[in-house]
Structure 1
Amino acid sequence: MRCVLQLLVLLLSLCVEPGGAQAQAQKATEARTWTNSEGRTMQARLVRREAENLTFLLQNGQHATLTISQLSAVDQHFVRINFPTTVAAKWPDVVEVSNRALDVKAVEEDLAKRSYIYRSEFFQFTAQDKLAVSVMKEIARTFESAHALVSALPWSIDPSPPADLGFYQAKFYLNRRNYILDGGPENSGGVYFTGDRIFRIPFDSLGLEMRGKTWFKNDSYRNDTLVHEITHQMMHDFLPFLPMWIIEGSAEYTEMIPYNAGKFLAGAHQRGIKEYVRDFQENRGISFSDATNLAANMTVTHDQWNERSRVSSGGQARLYHASAILVYYFCHLDGDGTGTRFIDYMKSIGKARDAWAAFFKNPAVKRNADGNFSYPSTLPLPEQPRDETYGFSQLSILLNGRTPEQLEEDIREAYRKIGIR
């Protein structure tokens, strides 16, 4: 672990790009000369204050933290006047949905087309066979609860259904053959396609069983895969910008949150990560100690991820395992344990999402069904690239000046403190 002195020396050796911080006066957010308690000076821009901790953005894009007490008396006064303290983001404890969300209605039944459409508050479900509304209510509970969970997490997602579709879309297939014929991967229990924004899943992956001539839901069925894929659906607008480890690690995170009787026990996340690590050890032969070079996993590209997954299922499992360990660490173990850096990182991604959303709302921009788009050459694109390179460029927020070796040490030490080795 690095000491405060090392961090201070690093800060004093670098300068910072000028710019503004939200909700602060212009003069307060510009790069300025800061003096520490020992009389040493630096050029820096203060971008965040949380209680007594100050975050500076460095010229190379990295973020670093000092406490107010390390500054001179004059600069301490400047901070307290111009940067009122912010309240740490609130992580949810218990997440459940309202009865309104579970008011499921059958809106179409077409035996000839084998199309049965049901709606809950945010979702439209198209099934290949008729399902009792009581059964659909239990299925909808998982979907709506996952939506509520992602909404409650301080990740800046703020999920809402696609405006052109009105509802999140899900298709349920009578059997795996139909699922695969409509594009479902053979080795999957369910899949979300970003192209048409539809979540596809066969009946058996929903825990549906035919008893006589009626479909029933198996109450003992685990909904892990379901929650994982719904999380991708909720994060649709973030996906273009994110590295694969965050895309899959965030879905593994929601999947590991204990779920009981329609409630996500989000406050029991530590129990969730311990069970997750134990499950990988017992059922897949992958232990926590096998997750090495974690910082290197943070820069794995989409193509590299797909290649490693293609080569072996074990390689894919290791990628998911490492991603979950990373996301949980940054959410609950990094720094003061409040997930500040991960929250800031996701806010940065959220700004890119918002910039592109505004761009696509321009009537001059034409989007095709396949996701491609055209626009006048005179219309500037948003400054953030709409691909994973932007997500990679923001990783300095998470690294906070740490080398890969230092990050690895921090991660292992943090997990040791909660009994995971």
Structure 2
Amino acid sequence: MNFFSHSIAVTIFLFSQVNARTWTDVKGRSLEAELINKTDTTVTVLLKGKETEIPLTKLSKQDQEFVKGWEAEGAQASDQSVDYKKQFEQEWPKLVSTDLDIEITEEEGEDGRVIYRSPHYEFVSNTKLSKVPVKRFAVLFEATREYVQQLPYANKKAYQTGERYKVFLFDTIESYVRAGGPEGSAGVYMSGKDVIMVPCQSLGLIKRGSSWALDYDRSNKTLPHEITHQLTDREYYAEGARGWFSEGFAEYVAVTPYRSGKFSVSKAPSYVEQYVTSFAKADNRGRNLGEEISAPKLESFMTMSYGDFAFAGNANFNYGLGALLVTYFNHYDGEGDAANLKNFLGALKEGKKGKEALEVLRAGRSWEELEEDVTTGWRKRGVKINFN
């Protein structure tokens, strides 16, 4: 099963069974859904497995008051002492590595669960695991955190102190789905609870008798996508960024070659190109969009709703194009120093959204001029993008 094609398009699913509430509109009609995001004029809820955007004016006054006071869990969990402007000045890393000899602690939790802790993560498992496989996947989580920290994106959430990032592990796909995991997925980030959920088999584990062992034929390379979502600042999910950037960024990290606690970041651009245009030879994963891509107008693509981006039947294409755009702004735009992207992220930090924030990214260029720049940047690498 191709993890990307099944799970990434549902990375913003939440614990709908736990946190759903009753909403009432101005006509007195009610429905059960969970609030997952808001703007000054709309709310986004999870309804029947899909994100639905609702204008605030259509909700009852009581619901509007609830929305005003609502804050996504984990939104304030990052270390506010981190100076994001200095983070933008960091050099682009070439290789990111983490300590392989990390300490893993274990304790009994409630309802027969077992809790494993690495330096920055807490893994809550409904099945007992041995320390060897736990350490192996914990190193991946810790290395991904290091990677996101070292990128000059000013992701303050990657510097979270105090509470560890939470991950829930499940012994079977069935128990994973019962807890809220989307069917057909191999892992998911739940933004409302700020947790990752993942079945053990997606961690590179295989059941042998009553115990779990490492499955050396299974790759963990896809998990960094969901880990990246957990480490991404809330501002980077705002209008104008949510979709092409938030998913393109997670794709960029996930496609970066990883082995034994090391991300070879310098190889990321070429690996993104191969992954998006075809299938990787090593594991046969890829978006397979081809080397000549017919794309929608850039303005409409960058401003589409997340529901259209991830759930309108064209998710494979949208994630692939998002990865190409993020890679372009990381390495090929302007002087190749990601200056315009950093200014864009800084604008998001300052509260700008939508076209106002994207105007910063365009850096004085019209949308047509930006399309030409993106086309030129990728054409030099053998990829032709036609915006029409």
So what's the TM-score if we normalise by structure 2? 0.69
Q: Supply the AA of the counterpart residue of 1:274.
A: E
Residue pairs, 1:96-175, within 5 angstroms: 96-99=97-100, 102-106=102-106, 108-110=107-109, 113-160=111-158, 166-175=163-172
CA contact (8 A) 1:291 1:321 kept: no
* Matching residue within 206, 210, 233 for 2:230: 233
* Matching residue within 367, 371, 387 for 1:408: 371
For residues 259 and 223 of structure 1, the distance between their equivalents in structure 2, rounded to whole angstroms, comes to 9
Change (3 A) 1:418 1:256: same
Deviations 1:36-85 (A, max 9, x none): xxxxxxxxxxxxxxxxxxxxxxxxxxxxxxxxxxxxxxxxxxxxxxxxxx
For the residue of structure 1 that corresponds to 2:185, the secondary structure is coil
Question: 1:416: how far off?
Answer: 2.0
CA contact (8 A) 2:205 2:212 kept: yes
Question: 1:348: how far off?
Answer: 2.3
Question: 1:413: how far off?
Answer: 1.3
Q: Supply the AA of the counterpart residue of 2:178.
A: L
Question: 1:322: how far off?
Answer: 1.0
Question: 1:243: how far off?
Answer: 2.4
For the residue of structure 1 that corresponds to 2:222, the secondary structure is helix
Instruction: Tell me: higher relative CO, structure 1 or 2? Use CA pairs within 8 A at least 6 residues apart.
Output: 2
**Deviating runs (4+, > 3 A) in structure 1?**
160-163, 278-285
Deviations 1:188-216 (A, max 9, x none): 11111111111001111112101233211
Larger Rg: 1
Residue pairs, 1:145-294, within 5 angstroms: 145-160=143-158, 166-241=163-238, 242-279=241-278, 284-293=287-296
The answer to whether the aligner puts 1:299 opposite 2:303 as a matched pair is yes
For residues 279 and 358 of structure 2, the distance between their equivalents in structure 1, rounded to whole angstroms, comes to 27
How many residue pairs align between the two structures? 290
For residues 229 and 238 of structure 1, the distance between their equivalents in structure 2, rounded to whole angstroms, comes to 17
List alignment gaps of at least 5 residues for structure 2.
Answer: 1-87
Residue pairs, 1:340-359, within 5 angstroms: 340-352=339-351
So what's the TM-score if we normalise by structure 1? 0.64
For residues 351 and 240 of structure 1, the distance between their equivalents in structure 2, rounded to whole angstroms, comes to 13
Deviations 1:249-285 (A, max 9, x none): 1000101111122200111123222321343598554
For the residue of structure 2 that corresponds to 1:192, the secondary structure is strand
CA contact (8 A) 1:294 1:322 kept: no
CA contact (8 A) 1:150 1:159 kept: no
For residues 145 and 417 of structure 1, the distance between their equivalents in structure 2, rounded to whole angstroms, comes to 32
For the residue of structure 2 that corresponds to 1:209, the secondary structure is strand
For residues 263 and 160 of structure 2, the distance between their equivalents in structure 1, rounded to whole angstroms, comes to 24
CA contact (8 A) 1:294 1:326 kept: no
Q: Supply the AA of the counterpart residue of 1:394.
A: A
Question: 1:291: how far off?
Answer: 4.4
For residues 88 and 277 of structure 1, the distance between their equivalents in structure 2, rounded to whole angstroms, comes to 29
Aligned residue number for residue 393 of structure 1: 356
Question: 1:342: how far off?
Answer: 0.6
For the residue of structure 2 that corresponds to 1:407, the secondary structure is helix
For residues 156 and 233 of structure 2, the distance between their equivalents in structure 1, rounded to whole angstroms, comes to 11
Question: 1:218: how far off?
Answer: 1.9
Change (3 A) 1:88 1:415: farther
For the residue of structure 2 that corresponds to 1:125, the secondary structure is strand
Aligned residue number for residue 5 of structure 2: none
Q: Supply the AA of the counterpart residue of 1:189.
A: A
For residues 124 and 415 of structure 1, the distance between their equivalents in structure 2, rounded to whole angstroms, comes to 40
Aligned residue number for residue 64 of structure 2: none
Change (3 A) 1:416 1:134: same
For residues 157 and 365 of structure 2, the distance between their equivalents in structure 1, rounded to whole angstroms, comes to 32
Residue pairs, 1:322-401, within 5 angstroms: 322-352=321-351, 390-401=353-364
Question: 1:245: how far off?
Answer: 1.0
Change (3 A) 1:230 1:88: closer
Question: 1:350: how far off?
Answer: 2.8
List alignment gaps of at least 5 residues for structure 1.
Answer: 1-86, 353-383, 385-389
